[in-house]
A and B are shown apart, each in its own frame.
Chain A
């Protein structure tokens, strides 16, 4: 029978490895789901999924994407997990004229980080995730619910996310000052920085009570331990990226309790898979049963990427890149992370948005730390689990 190959690129190793941790499991699940093949253009095709590791390294991500396109000759590439992987993969697809669906990057760093032009957009690359506007709304709403001096200290590194979050126009600074928060941003630092005393000193000096940012997990640990060493105790710590994962929280020991972060997917999200018909809760429980590990947020999105891919391939006239691309572009699908459809105005020609809420880590029953949703202003469909506590 004919074969259709789907490429998948994510960080399996390196500082961003937690983003790719669940991929192997999801892919196994997909192999079962696709074991009978899918019909494309009237012909049955065996599905083969090729997984490549970007090692959290943008250069490597581009290289493996090129390999997938030129050597493996995949029909479609899926990619997820921070701009460091998704952007170069998307660029390689755009360059080589192969369709690509990406996720787990706020859409601004994905679109503007790749120098996308809102008027023309991209021809081959499509993206599904939330945007900075959502994360700003969720974070600030959460902070306004507790008593603080509204002094915020920011940790924005010199990478795709950090540059977007900290951007004067697109990022945090403008809306924050609009809402009466003052922002201490000491500047972009290198990922893997071993010493945060400069930032800590600046935060202490400005009397910062809220710390936010988007840092990689090891840097969060370095920052938090050094803050403790140097006697800096903010009331709220809401970090993107670093605090998404239970493993990272556990590694922090006692420092982990009460930290908050953005939540893009959880078992309580009210959506179901178009392939397996599992609800979000079923999906996470299935993961926990097989792997004996606590659920993580990327599970939903990895799963959803395959949902969109499967749907598009089924609707595609042939395996010609142009046909597959057209099928992707015309997707209208309810997935386990919400509804996916492209074709809005400006950047939204290539971007489909999914909902976002705020969560907080606390001592759990089943696991050492569990995530509770504490603010849902920007996505009221997602049920609340509690309210934000101070540290």
Chain B
């Protein structure tokens, strides 16, 4: 009854890409044995920015929730890590994960307030919420109040160990956050998220639990932000409310996502690289550097909405993380739907299904254009 078909979810050269990716990760893992400690520090810092941006992208780019208050969870992750490490004596590296978890859990009640607002109001409302957290922490003397405090839990650990463990952890978090977002978007739930972004009303009428989905994304994004926060302050030893809950975290995340291209996994990745390069070469210009970043974000938004990667994708059809499902029929009729291309080997061994049957089907043009996710 059904035509036999195959669903292609990979890209050509996927295996090669995967190999390159793995090689890069492998190289990165070995860095502590041959690299300088300043490189590790730099990586940890950029990793924190990247994870944070990735989560912001998930929330704003896919979930349509534009928040300027994600620093709330960044700070909470950091402070939770500090409390667990300093007062409860938990290993700070374990505390990073627990702190992120705490941030994710706190996001659930917080969403009840934040979701009262939409669009621009949501954005500023979340900022107010972040301020509430900042002021609350600033008024708790146990964690140093407004002046902040030092992470004493790390003092016993040797410098080299501390540096490499922090570095590996950051690396693992980067890979994990890419993986998490990628597999999430490839899953059935990812489909629902895309549907919500495109049309909330229709998504609801197709059985998608819109409210729950948004909450889940919000909580996951908070978890990621908390992770970035914990990681950052483990690398810094000192935390203060102003640093932890600074709106700059979100500002830089927005910058990276907008430059790289919002609503695509490659966006924050490209954005983080650009940001790192700009930071490296221009950050000495201080205020002028920041003015430049601001202007760049403005210009990109007005004239170049899809970002660098979005442009590449439109122009050359580049994709690193294929999440789309392309239907290919198992017939080679000249009039067929899609020529059965030698579809690239599946990048991650996702099953490509084949079902037998063999109806001929209608004529039609050859839609092989790729499109933006």
If A158-B145, A163-B145 touch, whether A91 touches B237 (CB-CB below 8 Å) is yes
In this assembly, does A134 line the interface, its C-beta being within 8 Å of a C-beta of chain B? no
In this assembly, does A322 line the interface, its C-beta being within 8 Å of a C-beta of chain B? no
Are A70 and B38 touching (Cβ within 8 A)? yes
- C-alpha gap A115/B240 in the complex (Å): 13
- C-alpha gap A159/B141 in the complex (Å): 10
* Chain B positions 82 through 103: 1 when the CB is less than 8 Å from some CB of chain A, otherwise 0: 0000100000000000000000
In this assembly, does B305 line the interface, its C-beta being within 8 Å of a C-beta of chain A? no
Are A58 and B138 touching (Cβ within 8 A)? no
Q: Which of A101-120 contact B (CB under 8 A)?
A: 109, 113-115, 117
Question: Which residue, A57, A91, A109, has most C-beta atoms of chain B within 10 A?
Answer: A91
* Complex partner residue of B237 from A92, A158, A159, CB under 8 angstroms: A92
If A70-B38, A91-B238, A96-B159 touch, whether A188 touches B139 (CB-CB below 8 Å) is yes
Are B38 and A71 touching (Cβ within 8 A)? yes
Are B144 and A58 touching (Cβ within 8 A)? no
- Among the stretches A82-90, A224-232, A298-306, the one at the interface with B is A82-90
If A66-B41, A163-B145 touch, whether A158 touches B150 (CB-CB below 8 Å) is no
Are B238 and A158 touching (Cβ within 8 A)? no
In this assembly, does A323 line the interface, its C-beta being within 8 Å of a C-beta of chain B? no
- Which chain A positions have C-beta within 8 A of B155? 94
Are A58 and B159 touching (Cβ within 8 A)? no
In this assembly, does A33 line the interface, its C-beta being within 8 Å of a C-beta of chain B? no
> Closest Cβ of chain B: how far from A19's Cβ, in Å?
16
In this assembly, does A48 line the interface, its C-beta being within 8 Å of a C-beta of chain B? no
Are B138 and A158 touching (Cβ within 8 A)? yes
Are B238 and A62 touching (Cβ within 8 A)? yes
In this assembly, does B346 line the interface, its C-beta being within 8 Å of a C-beta of chain A? no
- Which chain B positions have C-beta within 8 A of A160? 147
Are B150 and A58 touching (Cβ within 8 A)? no
- C-alpha gap A96/B155 in the complex (Å): 11
- C-alpha gap A97/B146 in the complex (Å): 26
* Chain B positions 27 through 43: 1 when the CB is less than 8 Å from some CB of chain A, otherwise 0: 00000000001100110
> Closest Cβ of chain A: how far from B52's Cβ, in Å?
15
In this assembly, does B200 line the interface, its C-beta being within 8 Å of a C-beta of chain A? no
* Complex partner residue of B138 from A83, A94, A114, A190, CB under 8 angstroms: A190
> Closest Cβ of chain A: how far from B275's Cβ, in Å?
15
* A-B contact number at CB 8 A: 74
* Chain B positions 197 through 239: 1 when the CB is less than 8 Å from some CB of chain A, otherwise 0: 0000000000000000000000000000000000000001110
- Which chain B positions have C-beta within 8 A of A191? 146
Are B145 and A58 touching (Cβ within 8 A)? no
> Closest Cβ of chain A: how far from B283's Cβ, in Å?
9
In this assembly, does B164 line the interface, its C-beta being within 8 Å of a C-beta of chain A? no
- C-alpha gap A117/B150 in the complex (Å): 12
If A66-B41, A96-B159 touch, whether A158 touches B146 (CB-CB below 8 Å) is yes
Q: Which of A142-184 contact B (CB under 8 A)?
A: 157-160, 162-163
In this assembly, does A59 line the interface, its C-beta being within 8 Å of a C-beta of chain B? yes
Q: Which of B153-184 contact A (CB under 8 A)?
A: 154-155, 159
- Residue on A with the closest CB to B147? A160
Are A59 and B145 touching (Cβ within 8 A)? no
> Closest Cβ of chain A: how far from B160's Cβ, in Å?
10
- C-alpha gap A87/B42 in the complex (Å): 22
Q: Which of A52-68 contact B (CB under 8 A)?
A: 57-59, 62, 66
If A57-B242, A71-B38 touch, whether A158 touches B159 (CB-CB below 8 Å) is no
Are A59 and B152 touching (Cβ within 8 A)? no
> Closest Cβ of chain A: how far from B92's Cβ, in Å?
13
* Complex partner residue of B242 from A58, A83, A92, CB under 8 angstroms: A58
Number of interface residues of A (CB under 8 A): 31
- C-alpha gap A158/B136 in the complex (Å): 12
If A159-B147, A190-B138 touch, whether A58 touches B243 (CB-CB below 8 Å) is yes
> Closest Cβ of chain B: how far from A105's Cβ, in Å?
11
Number of interface residues of B (CB under 8 A): 27
A interface SS class: helix
Are A59 and B37 touching (Cβ within 8 A)? no
In this assembly, does B63 line the interface, its C-beta being within 8 Å of a C-beta of chain A? no
Are B152 and A113 touching (Cβ within 8 A)? no
In this assembly, does B148 line the interface, its C-beta being within 8 Å of a C-beta of chain A? yes
Are A113 and B147 touching (Cβ within 8 A)? yes
Are B237 and A95 touching (Cβ within 8 A)? yes
* Complex partner residue of A70 from B37, B138, B145, B246, CB under 8 angstroms: B37
- Which chain B positions have C-beta within 8 A of A115? 86, 149-150, 152
> Closest Cβ of chain A: how far from B45's Cβ, in Å?
9
Are A163 and B37 touching (Cβ within 8 A)? no
- C-alpha gap A162/B141 in the complex (Å): 12
> Closest Cβ of chain A: how far from B285's Cβ, in Å?
13
* Complex partner residue of A59 from B86, B159, B242, CB under 8 angstroms: B242
* Complex partner residue of B146 from A71, A109, A163, CB under 8 angstroms: A163
- C-alpha gap A13/B276 in the complex (Å): 26
Are B146 and A157 touching (Cβ within 8 A)? yes
Are B150 and A70 touching (Cβ within 8 A)? no
- C-alpha gap A350/B293 in the complex (Å): 42
- Residue on B with the closest CB to A164? B147
- C-alpha gap A83/B159 in the complex (Å): 25
> Closest Cβ of chain A: how far from B16's Cβ, in Å?
36
Are B159 and A88 touching (Cβ within 8 A)? no
Are B144 and A113 touching (Cβ within 8 A)? yes
> Closest Cβ of chain A: how far from B245's Cβ, in Å?
11
* Complex partner residue of B240 from A59, A66, A94, A190, CB under 8 angstroms: A59
- Residue on A with the closest CB to B248? A59
* Complex partner residue of A58 from B38, B139, B154, B240, CB under 8 angstroms: B240
> Closest Cβ of chain B: how far from A117's Cβ, in Å?
8
- Which chain B positions have C-beta within 8 A of A113? 144, 147, 149
- Residue on A with the closest CB to B148? A58
Are A190 and B147 touching (Cβ within 8 A)? no
- Which chain A positions have C-beta within 8 A of B38? 70-71
* Complex partner residue of A163 from B41, B141, B242, B243, CB under 8 angstroms: B141
- C-alpha gap A88/B152 in the complex (Å): 13
Are A158 and B149 touching (Cβ within 8 A)? no
- Residue on B with the closest CB to A94? B237
- C-alpha gap A188/B135 in the complex (Å): 12
Are B150 and A114 touching (Cβ within 8 A)? yes
- Which chain B positions have C-beta within 8 A of A92? 236-238
- Residue on B with the closest CB to A189? B146
Q: Which of B1-56 contact A (CB under 8 A)?
A: 37-38, 41-42
- 14 of the cross-chain contacts (CB-CB < 8 Å) are A58-B238, A59-B246, A62-B236, A62-B243, A70-B42, A87-B147, A88-B240, A97-B159, A115-B86, A115-B149, A158-B147, A159-B147, A163-B145, A188-B145
5 A-B pairs closest in CB distance: A158-B146, A59-B243, A70-B38, A160-B147, A91-B238
Given contacts A94-B155, A114-B150, A115-B150, 16 further A-B contacts (CB under 8 A): A58-B242, A58-B243, A59-B243, A70-B38, A87-B150, A95-B236, A115-B86, A115-B152, A117-B152, A159-B146, A160-B147, A163-B141, A163-B147, A188-B139, A190-B135, A190-B138
